[in-house]
Amino acid sequence: MRTLTILHRWFGVAFCLLFAMWFASGAVMHWVPFPELTEDERVAGLVPIASDRIKLAPAQAIAAFHRGDIVRLRIASPGGHPVYVATQQSGTVLALDATTGSAPLIDETFALASAAAHARARGLADIAPRLIETAVHDQWTVSNGLDALRPLHRIALNDAAGTELYVSSLTGEVVRDSTRVERVWNYAGSVLHWIYPTALRKHWAAWDALVWWLSLIALAGAVIGAVLGVARLRGGRSPFTGWQYWHHIGGLACALFVLTWIASGWLSMDHGRIFSDGRADPVEIEKIVGAPLTSAELGFDAATLRAAFEIEWFRFAGRIHQTGVRGGIIDGVSGGGVGPNDLRRAAARLGRDCAVADDNDAYAAHSRATGAPVYRVVCGDSWWQIDGADGRIIEKLDASRRAYRWAFRALHTLDFPALAAAPALRSALVMLLCAGGFFFSLTGVVIGWRRLRTLSGVI
């Protein structure tokens, strides 16, 4: 018990401020998420493809990339300039100027034109775009999902909302946005909560290890505190007075929430350490999708192109699909997005015991496109969630990954299905519990500060 007491005392001194920060910043994050460009915002910012400027057909573009592993090809018109964007099996992104057949020159002029066209299409008024910087990383673009598109041109629109857009120097497209309100609140929210300063977060492995170990040690300190809290009760009462009394009673009152919240927060950094990571392996992906695209298979319908804001070609279940954006799906080579028949073919390619299943999971997956269906292919214990809009594999769920969703998502954000159906109640509970955890942590801060002052001989 003495060893546990010493460990808890000094773990508390070291982590009390961190606990208070996590609870306070978690409450902020509930209302103001980290900045991102949603699919609806991206689509709303598209402009019509300048079809009269296109000199290369899709088949010619595939050949011009000189790659044999392209699985998606897309044409858009950022700033009114047509560009082909290809995605390789590895996730690497390539770009080609559809007017010259060479790599597009995404300089300051191009980036400003792309940002202005995107803003006008979204109805953002009174803009005066200005290039702030071109950088590989900044505070709002450190996430790994943007790695294939860097460096990024950061454009300030100078509008009333303080909107900033990020334009990829590879494709010329807007890939992220933020507003002044999002940036200010996220310094008090996500940046603190995730320990997300740019200088650390851009080194993913170092950030991952640091936050994982900090969370684990914090969890150990909380577990020790819960054990001591129960052991120190005398006749159902606390033997302490003053701040230690409130820390003892507050800790017991918050113990279940604090332990599950810190444990689930630690699991947010799991990344495959204990649970599976939700990624399908390359063999499974090839069975579901099929072989890479070839130039001989891509059709070119000039009339459809003139009516579109974006066209994408991809293979699913061995067949070429063509989707487009103009307020919805444009029928293509095989009728736009993937459907039930495509899913049945994909299931058969995975194995004879695989089938398309109804989406009756408590945690339903969501398409990146609003209103598009999500399909599930089930092979024994493994599920593949397929986005009906574009055939992308959202996630592979085995028993481990399904357990992880409850251990992390439900416990850490109260994202239980019943509470998700009552968002006002869920928000009220999140605020109440975060407030309780914060004020409990403050008692630890006071006790820790007094301990350090006593140790230093100040009093």
Q: Report d(CA 21, CA 196) in Å as an integer.
A: 13
d(CA 124, CA 162): 11
pLDDT in tens, 373-389: 889 999 999 999 999 88
Share above pLDDT 90 across residues of the chain, in percent, rounded to a whole number: 78
Residue 175 binned pLDDT confidence (cut-offs 50, 70, 90): very high
Higher pLDDT, 145 or 370: 145
pLDDT for res 332: 38
Q: How confident is the model at residue 402 (pLDDT cuts 50, 70, 90)?
A: very high
Q: Which of 36, 61, 79 is nearest to 175 (CA)?
A: 36
Residue 376 bridge partners (DSSP): 357, 385
Position 454 scores a pLDDT of 83
Give long-range contacts, CB 8 A cutoff, 24+ apart: 397-406. 397/278, 398/276, 400/275, 400/276, 401/275, 401/276, 401/277, 401/278, 403/275, 404/267, 404/270, 404/275, 404/276, 405/363
Which one has a higher pLDDT value, 257 or 299?
257
DSSP 147: G
* Residue 330: Cβ within 10 Å count: 19
Is pLDDT larger for residue 333 or for residue 98? 98
Share of the chain above pLDDT 70, in %: 95
pLDDT (0 to 100) of residue 457: 67
**Residue 396 confidence (pLDDT):** 94
Domain ranges of the chain: 2-33+195-275+415-451, 39-178, 282-397
Residue keyed to tokens 């594999």: 393
Give me the helices (H) in 45-197, please.
58-65, 108-121, 180-188, 190-193
Over range 312-335, report the average pLDDT: 70
Reported as a pLDDT band with limits 50, 70 and 90, residue 336 is low
Mind listing the pLDDT tens digit for each residue in 223-250?
999 999 999 999 889 999 999 999 999 9
Average pLDDT over every residue of 103-108 = 95
- Tens of pLDDT, residue by residue over 431-440, are 999 999 999 9
**Exposure string over 71-98, b if 16+ CB within 10 A, otherwise e:** bbbbbbbbbebbbbbbbbbeeebbbbbb
**Pairing verdict, β 70-76 and 310-316:** antiparallel
